[in-house]
């Protein structure tokens, strides 16, 4: 497989994983603090609310899609490149997407943390 | 941050750090899975290591969802990346594997990132709705 195809797979993994994380985060913010909800209404209410959330179901579907794109990517290229590259880029993509789409307050501290962790994860390949 | 919240974050780190190696070990025993025979993938669940790995995976999902219900995604992801550091420490001190200098540098960078993010608030405060007076005054401003 060409390098272009492998990097195409990495980009696909990053986009799909980030989408899954965003959808899950959106679903959980809509439902509210699960710990408090369980304390007030019980476990079955929590499970029911989570399973009825469209964002959650779509998020799980997207996460599954991300898993299969990772498997496909691994059949095209080396784990030592695809694993750290996709994990590292996902940290940065999540920070950008969470700021733009979830309107999270990503200050200098969080940018620095995302970049440090992304760099550190990339070094794990060596 | 309460103790319960720290425990949830620790649960994310612990369940993924333990679950992934269990799944990997189990799947090595099962052998290569042929996607043209999906039944072999389902039968892999019968392997005890894979089964325990799935239990940890479910625990990870529960802790991860719980964390996302009270903290921002840009807080949870870097904060729980300490799992990578744990993996290296286990590889070095439990499995006696060689850990390269660059990987130690990675450990330092990740630890610094975790330190940075956990010093700040875990949740973006909800935006205050604009009052009618504020909207009117901002409309008048040049």
Q: Tens digits of per-residue pLDDT, A97-117?
A: 999 999 988 889 889 999 999
Q: Report residue A81 as tokens.
A: 């490149």
pLDDT confidence bin for B11, thresholds 50/70/90: very high
Residue A120 is nearest to which of B68, B84, B125, comparing CB atoms?
B84
CA B30 to chain centre: 26
Residue B17 pLDDT: 84
- Each domain of chain B, given as residue ranges in start order, spans 3-140
Residue B34 per-residue DSSP state? P
Report chain B's mean pLDDT, rounded to a whole number: 82
In 3D, which of B77, B99, B80 has the Cα closest to residue B88?
B99
Q: If you count them, how many residues does chain A have?
A: 126
Q: Which of B73, B111, B120 is the mutation pick for testing A, counting most A CBs within 10 A? A: B73
Residue of chain B whose Cα is closest to the Cα of A104: B124
The answer, yes or no, to whether residue B118 has pLDDT greater than 80, is: yes
- Check: CB of residue B73 under 8 Å from CB of residue A22: yes
B114 CB-near residues (< 8 Å, 6+ apart): A113, A117, B78, B79, B81, B82, B85
pLDDT confidence bin for B141, thresholds 50/70/90: very low
For chain A, 126 residues long, give each residue's pLDDT as a single digit of tens.
Answer: 677 888 888 899 999 999 999 999 999 999 988 888 888 888 899 899 999 999 999 999 998 888 888 877 877 777 777 878 888 889 899 999 999 999 988 889 889 999 999 899 888 877
Ordered DSSP codes for A27-57: HHHHH--HHHHHHHH-HHHHHHHHHH-HHHH
ipTM above 0.90, yes or no: no
Average pLDDT in the B114-135 region?
73
- Check: CB of residue A98 under 8 Å from CB of residue A22: yes
Query: Buried b / exposed e across A10-24, counting CB within 10 Å, b at 16+?
Result: bbbbbbbbbbbbbbb
Interval B65-103: pLDDT, tens:
999 999 999 899 888 888 888 888 887 887 788 888 998
The answer, yes or no, to whether residue B130 has pLDDT greater than 70, is: no
- Check: CB of residue B91 under 8 Å from CB of residue A109: no
A79 CB-near residues (< 8 Å, 6+ apart): none
Q: Which of A22, A26, A28, A30 is the mutation pick for testing B, counting most B CBs within 10 A? A: A28
Residue B142 pLDDT: 44
Residue B129 pLDDT: 63
> How far, in Å, CA of A42 to CA of A49, rounded?
11
The answer, yes or no, to whether residue B135 has pLDDT greater than 60, is: no
Residue A124 is nearest to which of B84, B114, B125, comparing CB atoms?
B84
- Check: CB of residue A52 under 8 Å from CB of residue A46: no
B125 CB-near residues (< 8 Å, 6+ apart): A105
Q: Report residue A86 as tokens.
A: 């996709």
């Amino acid at each position: 497989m060409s390098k272009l195809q492998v990097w195409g797979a990495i980009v696909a993994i990053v986009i799909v994983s980030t989408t899954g994380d965003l959808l899950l985060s959106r679903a959980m913010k809509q439902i509210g603090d699960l710990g408090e909800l369980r304390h007030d209404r019980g476990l079955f209410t929590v499970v029911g609310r989570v399973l009825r959330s469209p964002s959650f179901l779509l998020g799980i579907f997207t996460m599954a899609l991300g898993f299969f794109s990772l498997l496909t990517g691994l059949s095209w290229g080396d784990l030592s490149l695809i694993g750290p590259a996709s994990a590292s880029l996902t940290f940065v993509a999540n920070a950008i997407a969470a700021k733009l789409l979830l309107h999270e307050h990503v200050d200098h501290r969080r940018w620095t943390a995302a970049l440090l962790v992304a760099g550190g994860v990339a070094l794990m390949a060596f | 941050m309460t103790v319960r919240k720290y425990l949830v974050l620790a649960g994310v780190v612990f369940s993924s750090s333990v679950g992934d190696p269990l799944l990997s070990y189990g799947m090595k025993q099962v052998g290569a899975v042929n996607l043209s025979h999906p039944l072999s993938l389902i039968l892999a669940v019968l392997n005890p290591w894979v089964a325990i790995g799935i239990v940890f995976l479910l625990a990870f999902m529960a802790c991860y969802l719980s964390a996302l219900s009270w903290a921002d995604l840009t807080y949870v992801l870097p904060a729980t990346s300490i799992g990578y550091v744990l993996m290296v420490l286990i590889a070095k001190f439990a499995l006696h594997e060689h850990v390269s200098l660059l990987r130690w540098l990675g450990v330092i960078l990740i630890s610094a990132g975790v330190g940075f993010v956990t010093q700040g608030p875990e949740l973006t405060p909800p935006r205050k709705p604009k009052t009618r007076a504020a909207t009117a005054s901002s409309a008048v401003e040049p």
